[in-house]
Structure 1
Amino acid sequence: MGSDVLPCYVACDVSLSMADHIDELNTGLREFRGAVHADASVADRVLCSVIGFGEEPLAVHGLYLAGEVAELPPPGPCAGTNFGPVFTYLRTRIDSDVHLLETHRVRVHRPMVFFLSDGQPTDPVTWPAAFAALTDPTWRNCPRVVTFGVGDADEGALGRIGTYRSYLSRDGVRLGTALIASVMHVLSTSGPPPGGTLS
């Protein structure tokens, strides 16, 4: 592991409506994994965690080197796509992970969240408060959020969530390309963090 790392969290909708898209997203994760692994300058600096969500979030795996990223599980039977619980989960998880990394004297770049979905949230009243807590600018670990919409994704909702960048697969953008471009841009424009998390 490098002396400075970028924690990335891939949060993917695995509700029933995603059944037609999981293969495409797994292909994107493989492309991302291969590109990071092939670049010696970043291979040991990008850590990646994969989280599935439907009605509730499910950790697929914790922070691994990006070259070891696991594939997404098949969609579950749940029809709900609740955004709020995964935002709440991410805030807790990021705090815990950053604390652990810093305990081991690893300098941590401001985390990045990749949020992937094809639908509209089924908790439209409650998710904005959970998202506001995740992206609270006074929180030292506030992540950059990149959204990637597949299928008939709600462009309006994803536009509100993508604080850093937003992509739509229907515009011809591939997931792997979006992931790689976002990570490389951060690493090329952010200097090594002096101690704590970058702002």
Structure 2
Amino acid sequence: MSNHGDAVPGQDPHVYHLRQKCLPTYLVIDASSSMEPHQNTLNRTLAQLHATISESPRVSEFAHMSLIAFSTDAHLIIEMTDLDRIQMMPEVVCNGLTNYSAAFDLVHSRIETDVDELRGMGMAVLRPVMFLLTDGAPTDDGWHDAFRRLVNRSWPRYPHVISYGFGAANPDVLGKVATKAAFLADAGTDQDHALLEALGSLLNSLVASSRAGEMQIPRSAPGFTAQPVSEEYLTVSAEYMD
């Protein structure tokens, strides 16, 4: 278990109390109609991810996770929680359009709620991280503005964002909806296999992060090629929020 020493307001500043570190983690999955042929693979892989994390107390205690699926609208599938508290992963149903704005806006509102709740539980909350998995280009026109609101540096709780694209995902868009790393499945990669590899990369990142006690950004992902990310987002940012 990772801990962080913090002075408690109103007490001797030289007296530190250990608090459990927590990484708010948002798994944001494209569940549009183009994902329908891969729905069974997606749900099986999510179940495997849940089982693996649940069997790794160090990871589940460190990386509290929320699952969001988006298509025409965005839906909160699992509220922020220690995954070993969930008996079974709900199934994601794929249909509709690919509305990035809905996803980004929901993550923004959930971060506000979740960070307050985690701090209220006495945890030392690290900067949130969002993993975006998508198989297509956005169908809405306002996604640029929604993403800028989400990662605006004037908002103290802006998250790190890591994107994984496969199928018909646009490499240029992937780089624009990421702040730390973006990956595109290699040409010819079966989409079901790409899903497995993307979630495997996410899991490896969380395992490494739990060991380090801070977010470890994946530098590579099997079966994927890294894409350029806007330099304005690559500046070093504090792991703890104001």
Alignment TM class, shorter chain as reference: 0.7 to 0.9
| Displacement after TM superposition at 1:197 (Å) | 6.7
TM-score, length of structure 1 as denominator length: 0.84
Greater mean alpha carbon deviation, residues 37-46 or residues 92-101? 37-46
The structure-2 alpha-carbon separation of the partners of 1:156 and 1:119, relative to structure 1 and needing over 3 Å to count, comes to same
2:163 matched to which residue of 1? 147
**Higher RCO (Cα < 8 Å, 6 or more apart):** 1
The structure-2 alpha-carbon separation of the partners of 1:166 and 1:22, relative to structure 1 and needing over 3 Å to count, comes to farther
3-state SS in 1 of match to 2:152:
coil
Q: Any residues of structure 2 matched to 1:164-175 within 5 Å, and which?
A: 164-170=180-186, 174-175=197-198
The structure-2 alpha-carbon separation of the partners of 1:191 and 1:58, relative to structure 1 and needing over 3 Å to count, comes to closer
1:182 matched to which residue of 2? 205
In 2, are the aligned partners of 1:6 and 1:110 still within 8 Å (CA)? yes
| Displacement after TM superposition at 1:151 (Å) | 1.5
3-state SS in 2 of match to 1:20:
helix
Q: Any residues of structure 2 matched to 1:47-66 within 5 Å, and which?
A: 47-66=64-83
> Is 2:179 aligned against 1:163?
yes
Q: What root-mean-square deviation, in Å, do the aligned CA atoms of Structure 1 and Structure 2 show? A: 2.5
2:54 matched to which residue of 1? 37
Aligned pairs, how many?
193
CA separation in 2, counterparts of 1:84 and 1:119?
A: 14
Spell out, residue by residue over 1:14-39, the C-alpha distance to the aligned partner (whole angstroms, 9 max, x if none).
11111122233333323332332333
Spell out, residue by residue over 1:93-145, the C-alpha distance to the aligned partner (whole angstroms, 9 max, x if none).
1011101111221111111111111111111x311111011011222211111
| Aligned partner letter, 2:109 | T
CA separation in 2, counterparts of 1:72 and 1:159?
A: 29
Bigger CA radius of gyration: 2
2:110 matched to which residue of 1? 93
The gaps in structure 1 that reach 5 residues or longer are none
- Of 89, 104, 122, the residue aligned with 1:70 is 89
The structure-2 alpha-carbon separation of the partners of 1:146 and 1:22, relative to structure 1 and needing over 3 Å to count, comes to farther
CA separation in 2, counterparts of 1:147 and 1:92?
A: 20
CA separation in 2, counterparts of 1:28 and 1:163?
A: 25
CA separation in 2, counterparts of 1:72 and 1:144?
A: 26
2:138 matched to which residue of 1? 121
3-state SS in 2 of match to 1:55:
coil
CA separation in 2, counterparts of 1:178 and 1:162?
A: 16
| Aligned partner letter, 1:87 | F
Greater mean alpha carbon deviation, residues 162-171 or residues 16-25? 162-171
TM-score, length of structure 2 as denominator length: 0.71
